[in-house]
Structure 1
Amino acid sequence: MAVYDADPFYAERFADFVNQKEQVPFQVMAFTTLEKLTVFAGAHEIEILLIHASVPREEIGKISAVQVVLLTDGEAVSLGGTYKSIYKYQAADCMMREVMECYCTSAEESGSTMISRTGRIIGVYSPVNRCLKTSFSLTMGQLLSRDLKVLYMNFEDCSGFGKLIGEEHKAGLSDLFYYYSLEKYNWVRLASLVYTWGELDYVPPVRYPEDLNQITAKEVADLVSRIARESGYDVIILDLGQFGKKAAEVLEICDAVYMPVQEDCLSAAKVEEFEEYLSACGHESVRKRIQKIKLPYHSSFGRRDSYLEQLLWGELGDYTRQLLRKQP
């Protein structure tokens, strides 16, 4: 990926950001003169060229690149011709989602696939409600993302995640399901749907609860397995919400399974029933892999917009750190 802008600091900062995003398999080069860019393009293949919209079209046409995206100083508008445009002064992760969206068509046409080491899949599921499942998943994700590339995926029908972090998402898991059903999923499509909170990457949850019914457990398992193989993430955390007993098929692909439990008799009965289901339906291997955990209830917290940060420094954060230290 080549980036040309008259502002050397802009091009270099953007290149540094993308080069740190391991799930985006591009080496990014920053250029501040057209001459250097043209010489480079003559000797190297450029997959994506981000170039300032002020550059004359005839000059852009001399630079060989699979995909050209124009950088604009004002709101992105149609500038005519075959080039797409994006607004340059926005958050770098938002900009990368737009770049990947622009690149999706050419990647699909070429059958582009990223091959990488297979990431570790961690499933968090419990038949018990109000057991801190999501709080634990997010705490673990934040801790692991300090040293690893981590992707968090929430499969609850009403997660409240967007409200919690104060982010409006244009696309997410619903769109990922849609593209996968049309056999148009690839790593570029995934990159166009990934958001970042702190150091943790995530795909926003489904837009409507009904969207979870549009995909089977097997399809979810196949999709997540493909993400683990092709995306470059070290760890994928699956926060399995209202999947019910069909969660078993998804848990089969998990390298580790955590099940938050409660001590009351009703919660214990629910767990026992789920375990009997696993044995009866041929998922005994999942049952043996489940690690039951009794999470400490965190006490009073402050404002909702700082809830995720507070998770790290309370009882739950301490518990999760100790748990991760014990894992191989």
Structure 2
Amino acid sequence: MAKRVMAVYDEDPLYAERLAEYVNQKEQVPFSVLGFTALERLTDYGADHRIELLLVDSSVSREDIEKIGAAFVILLADGEVAPLEEPYPRVYKYQAADRIMREVMGFYCNNSGEPGYAMVSRSGRVMGVYSPINRCLKTSFALTMGQLLARDLKVLYMNFEDCSGFGRLMGEEYKGGLSDLLYYYGQEGFHWGRLGAVVHTWGDLDYVPPVQYPEDLCQVTGQMMAELVGHIARESTYGSIILDLGQFGKKGAELLEVCDVVYMPVKDDCVSAAKVEEFEEYLTSSGHEALISRIQKIKPPYHSSFGRRDNYLEQLLWGELGDYTRQLLRKFP
């Protein structure tokens, strides 16, 4: 299915071109994005082509906007107060491009009434990271793997922990995330735009912020979460999806079933070994025995200098854990 068209026009021609170029590279929205530097050319294009979504400078008059004939319009504003009679939503244009697009997709999904639709026919590879053992570098390994893979393809990281600490780690205050994605999936099924409205970027890696409250995970079944991941894998542009599974325990088996491979950090002590054995016994007794063959047990390296927030990404990529993960990916690509 061909992508729909999103057009961008701003009084500053460099702004429109750079925003269009950024969005096309990131592919976080289901549109082909065209930047226009002249309002007359945009109007002529709209006369011969359908423009599904238009981002336009707020200085353009309503009359000129209506001549373009776009199905849905969002204004690019510089902070001025919107007139009460203005019919179009606004986004602040002088902010990070990924934040602009989250707001744009939020407006579009809430007001366009358009159903979701498939973007690609192939499925992205789903990679799970899970362990019944605590304090085993599970999340650090998952983020390292995601950053390394994201250098060559589009990767989405999803964290299913009930208390992830992600907002504090990233220094972000999230307005949406996995909680919203699960809610809307339960109401209307998969909508690519809903995903685009909550995706953030850290380094080269796209990620969905974890749930806001632990209760949000308790209110959905493992099967529902597995179905959501399956839809994302089939209907998005991501080549790999990394699932960082928290202490789901036996409920997590349904999510693990959608994984092509599962990396399980382990330790050498007897308590850790007993936990792994018990989990494998559960998989066998519950009919998930086939999962065992997809589990790759790993032993990420520990080192005392790891864990500072201010250069966390650099530590992941260039410390011992980064070297270990590179070697692992060469062995199990």
> Structure 1 residue 33 and structure 2 residue 29: aligned?
no
Conserved? CA contact 2:30–2:119, under 8 Å = no
Specify the alignment match of 2:255 in structure 1. Answer: 250
The secondary structure found in structure 2 opposite 1:86 is strand
Greater mean deviation of Cα atoms: 70-79 or 227-236: 70-79
Partner SS, residue 257 of structure 1:
strand
**In 2, Cα distance between equivalents of 1:113 and 1:78:** 35
Structure 1 runs not aligned, ≥5 long:
none
Deviation at 1:29, TM superposition (A): 1.2
**Aligned position for 1:114:** 118
Q: Tell me whether 1:64 sits opposite 2:75 in the alignment.
A: no
**Structure 2 residue matching 1:151: 3-state secondary structure:** strand
Residue type matched to 2:265 in 1? P
Who is 2:142 aligned against?
A: 137
Shift of 1:242: 1.6
- Matching of residues 296-311 of structure 1 within 5 Å: 296-301=301-306, 303-311=308-316
For 2:296 and 2:224, how far apart are their aligned partners in 1?
25
> What is the correspondence of 1:242-321 to structure 2 with a 5 Å cutoff?
242-301=247-306, 303-321=308-326
Partner of 2:3: none
State the distance in 1 between where 2:81 and 2:151 align.
34
Which consecutive aligned stretches of 4+ in structure 1 deviate over 3 angstroms post-superposition?
Answer: 75-79
Q: How far has the Cα of 1:97 moved from its partner?
A: 0.4
The answer to whether the 8 Å contact 2:190/2:231 transfers is no
Counterpart contact for 2:144–2:325, Cα < 8 Å? yes
Partner Cα separation in structure 2 for residue 133 and residue 123 of structure 1: 10
Deviation at 1:33, TM superposition (A): 1.6
Partners of 1:71 and 1:87 within 8 A in 2: yes
**Aligned-partner SS, 2:188:** coil
Q: How do 1:1-328 residues align onto structure 2 when only pairs under 5 Å count?
A: 1-74=6-79, 77=82, 80-106=85-111, 109-116=113-120, 117-301=122-306, 303-328=308-333
The 10-residue stretch of structure 1 (178-187 or 243-252) with the greater mean CA deviation from structure 2: 178-187
Q: CA deviation at 1:184?
A: 5.0
Q: Distance in 1 between matches of 2:57 and 2:27?
A: 25
Native 8 Å contact 2:116 2:190 kept in 1: no
Q: Displacement, 1:62?
A: 1.1
Equivalent position amino acid for 2:326 in 1: R
Structure-1 separation of matches of 2:306 and 2:99 = 30
Give me the whole-angstrom Cα distance separating, in 1, the residues matched to 2:80 and 2:297.
51
CA distance in 2, matches of 1:167, 1:269: 38
Report the Cα offset of residue 287 of structure 1: 1.0
TM-score of the superposed pair, with normalisation by structure 2: 0.95
8 Å CA contact retained: 1:78, 1:84: no
| Gap change, CA 1:222 and 1:26, over 3 Å in 2 | same
Q: Partners in 1 of 2:123 and 2:80 — Cα distance?
A: 39
Query: Aligned-pair distance for 1:72?
Result: 0.7
The 1:110/1:8 distance shift into structure 2, 3 A limit, reads: same
1:77 offset after TM fit, Å? 4.3
Code of the residue aligned with 1:84 in structure 2: it is P
Aligned-pair identity in percent equals 68
CA offsets per residue over residues 101-120 of structure 1, 9 Å max, x none? 1110355x332413312110
Change (3 A) 1:319 1:302: closer
- Report the CA distance between 1:75 and its aligned residue: 5.5
CA distance in structure 1 between the partners assigned to 2:307 and 2:142 by the alignment: 20
How many Å separate the matches in 1 of 2:240 and 2:8?
A: 30
1:237 deviates by 0.3
The 3 A distance-change label for structure 1 pair 170 and 255 is same
> Helix, strand or coil: the match of 1:70?
strand
Q: How many residues are aligned here?
A: 327
The answer to whether the Cα contact below 8 Å between 1:123 and 1:256 also exists between their aligned partners in 2 is yes
When residues 75 and 149 of structure 1 are mapped into structure 2, their CA distance, relative to the original with a 3 A threshold, is: farther
Alignment RMSD, CA only?
1.4
Structure 1 stretch 179-188 or stretch 60-69: which is displaced more?
A: 179-188
1:81 and 1:257 map into 2 onto residues whose CA distance is 51
Higher mean C-alpha deviation, range 174-183 or range 298-307: 298-307
